[in-house]
């Protein structure tokens, strides 16, 4: 039983746990009161609403060593009754009691702890403690990229402790796996990377009763830094050996969509068509196939349009990132979707220019996939592989 709301009109409320023959008294009072009880691993919270002062007994299952009433330490006004019951002297009106075993829990400001980015301390997070809740807050400035968050607790976390929640850059991370972190300590690593950019707010909340601060540090590791794609001159389609991949000739897609094929609804389309509605969605991908007649080195160009400030995609060829930085390609904003204005189509070059090495492709069939990272659309008209 996690929480029970009992309007105690009778003098005694008795609850029978399902499947057990024996019964247990959870709440008892000699006056009509309204109570709400919730049970933690080593603590019990009791809310009482009473018309007149009275004694309320609640089942705790342990002998408390500490108590708070309305957030203040309660050294009197409560006592241990028999059989795991605790008796409180409830005043007329509302009162919130908390009982627990072990040391007195933390309340108010706690010690700050470090946020490290790629091993380097970047800021200290301020901590605060309330009834069954810990919170830490801070801010950090980061370049656009994908980051992996790992929480490093200060002590081993007992089984049954609720999972912490990390809100970072507007994304909530609440799904964790146990890892041995880079600093050699046991940690909880988020199962999904966070896409972060610029001034990033960090808020860690942990719904439990803490007698000592549970956190040592938060580690952020760069999983991928964005590779900005610069505007480029169009490739020479007449050059020998150029391989053209029309966006509208995609072979398959997944995890979102469907993409829409525009046949004349956009301006100046190469091959008479293009695709739109590519993203958002959690990892929406589109895949193309192309044939390389002659093995060699190639530059890879794309013609895209987006009204967003930028739009991010991961590139793979034959299911692997073909070069460093391919995991987070940053297509530039082009001022619009190119529905009527052809100048909103912009050429960029991924490889084989701008200081990036060319692709080395074997002869034969290949698969090129673009996967959405984040939540921004991009329209794609055509891609081209140009021998280098
Ligand atoms: Ca096209």
At 285-301, the pLDDT tens digits run 999 999 999 999 999 99
Q: What is the per-residue pLDDT across 43-69, written as a single tens digit (0 to 9) for each?
A: 899 999 999 999 999 999 999 999 999
Cα dihedral 49, 55, 58, 63, rounded to 10, equals 130
CA-to-CA distance for 96 and 94, rounded, in angstroms? 7
Distance 269 CA to ligand 1 centre (A): 5
CA dihedral 181, 187, 192, 197 (to 10 degrees): -70
Instruction: Output the CA 274–ligand 1 centroid distance in Å.
Output: 4
Residue 20 · residue 50 · CB < 8 Å = no
Q: How far is the CA of 377 from the centre of ligand 1 (A)?
A: 17
pLDDT of residue 20: 52
pLDDT digits (tens, 9 = 90+) for 135-176: 999 999 999 999 999 999 999 888 878 899 999 999 999 999
Q: Ligand 1 centre and the CA of 381: distance in Å?
A: 4
pLDDT at 29: 92
- The Å distance, Cα 322 to ligand 1 centre, comes to 23
Contact 374, 171 (CB under 8 A): no
In terms of DSSP bridges, do strands 346-351 and 171-173 run parallel, antiparallel, or are they unpaired?
unpaired
Distance 270 CA to ligand 1 centre (A): 4
Q: Does the pLDDT value for residue 221 go beyond 60?
A: yes
Backbone angles phi, psi at 377, to 5 degrees: -70, 160
- What is the distance in A from the centroid of ligand 1 to the CA of 281? 23
Dihedral sign for Cα 207, 209, 214, 215, please: positive
Question: What spacing in Å lies between the alpha carbon of 388 and ligand 1's midpoint?
Answer: 23
Check: CB of residue 48 under 8 Å from CB of residue 35: yes
Cα–ligand 1 centroid distance for 252 (angstroms): 16
Q: For the chain, what is the mean pLDDT? A: 91
- 251: CA distance to ligand 1 center in Å? 14
* pLDDT tens per residue, range 321-362: 999 899 999 999 999 999 999 999 999 999 998 778 899 999
Cα 273 to middle of ligand 1, angstroms: 4
For 302, residues 6+ apart whose C-beta sits below 8 A from its C-beta are 331, 347, 348, 349, 350, 380, 382, 383, 384
Domains of the chain, CATH where assigned: 3-100 (2.60.220), 108-224 (2.60.120), 228-387 (2.60.120.260)
DSSP 220-289: EEEEEE-EEPPB-PPP-TTSTT-EEEEGGG--EEESS---EEESSSSSS-GGG-EEE----SSS-EEEEE
Give residues with Cβ within 8 angstroms of 324, minimum separation 6.
none
Confidence of residue 15 (pLDDT cuts 50, 70, 90): very low
CA of 339 to the centre of ligand 1 (A): 13
Half-sphere exposure of 120 (CA within 13 A, CB side): 5
Give 244 Cα–ligand 1 centroid separation in angstroms.
9
Gap from CA of 330 to ligand 1 centroid (Å): 20
pTM: 0.78
Q: How far is the CA of 345 from the centre of ligand 1 (A)?
A: 11
Ligand 1 centroid to 246 CA: how many Å?
A: 5
Report the separation in Å between the CA atom of 250 and the middle of ligand 1, taken as the mean of its atom positions: 10
> 118 C-alpha to center of ligand 1: Å?
41
**What is the CA(272)–ligand 1 centre distance, in A?**
6
Length of the chain: 388
């Amino acid at each position: 039983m996690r929480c029970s709301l009992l309007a105690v009109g009778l003098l005694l409320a008795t609850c029978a746990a399902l499947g057990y023959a024996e019964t247990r008294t959870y709440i008892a009072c000699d006056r009509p009161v309204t109570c709400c009880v919730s049970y933690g691993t080593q603590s019990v919270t009791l809310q009482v609403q009473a018309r007149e002062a009275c004694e309320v007994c609640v089942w705790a299952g342990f002998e408390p060593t500490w108590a708070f009433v309305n957030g203040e330490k309660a050294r009197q006004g409560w006592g241990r009754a028999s059989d795991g019951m605790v008796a409180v002297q409830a005043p007329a009106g509302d009162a919130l009691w908390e009982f627990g075993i072990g040391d007195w829990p933390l309340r108010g400001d706690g010690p700050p702890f470090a946020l490290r980015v790629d091993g380097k301390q970047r800021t200290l997070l301020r901590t605060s403690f309330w009834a069954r809740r810990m919170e830490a807050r801070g801010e950090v400035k980061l370049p656009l990229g994908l980051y992996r968050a790992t929480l490093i607790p200060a002590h081993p976390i007992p089984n049954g402790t609720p999972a912490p929640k990390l809100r970072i850059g507007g994304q909530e991370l609440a799904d964790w796996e146990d890892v041995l972190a880079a600093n050699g300590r046991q940690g909880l690593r988020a199962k999904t990377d966070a896409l972060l950019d610029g001034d990033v707010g960090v808020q860690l909340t942990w719904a439990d009763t803490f007698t000592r601060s549970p956190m040592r540090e938060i580690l952020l590791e760069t999983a991928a830094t964005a590779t900005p794609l610069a505007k480029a001159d169009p490739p020479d389609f007449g050059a020998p050996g150029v391989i053209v991949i029309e966006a509208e000739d995609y072979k398959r897609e997944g995890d979102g969509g469907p993409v829409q094929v525009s046949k004349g609804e956009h301006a100046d389309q190469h091959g008479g068509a293009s695709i739109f509605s590519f993203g958002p969605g959690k990892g929406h991908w589109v895949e193309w196939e192309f044939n390389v007649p002659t093995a060699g080195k190639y530059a890879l160009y794309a013609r895209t349009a987006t009204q967003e400030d930028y739009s991010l995609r991961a590139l793979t060829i034959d299911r692997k990132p073909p070069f460093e930085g391919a995991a987070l390609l940053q297509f530039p904003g082009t001022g619009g979707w190119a529905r009527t204005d052809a100048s909103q189509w912009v050429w960029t070059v991924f490889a084989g220019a701008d200081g990036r090495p060319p692709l080395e492709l074997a002869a034969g069939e290949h698969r090129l996939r673009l996967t959405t990272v984040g939540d921004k659309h991009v329209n794609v008209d055509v891609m081209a592989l140009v021998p280098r």
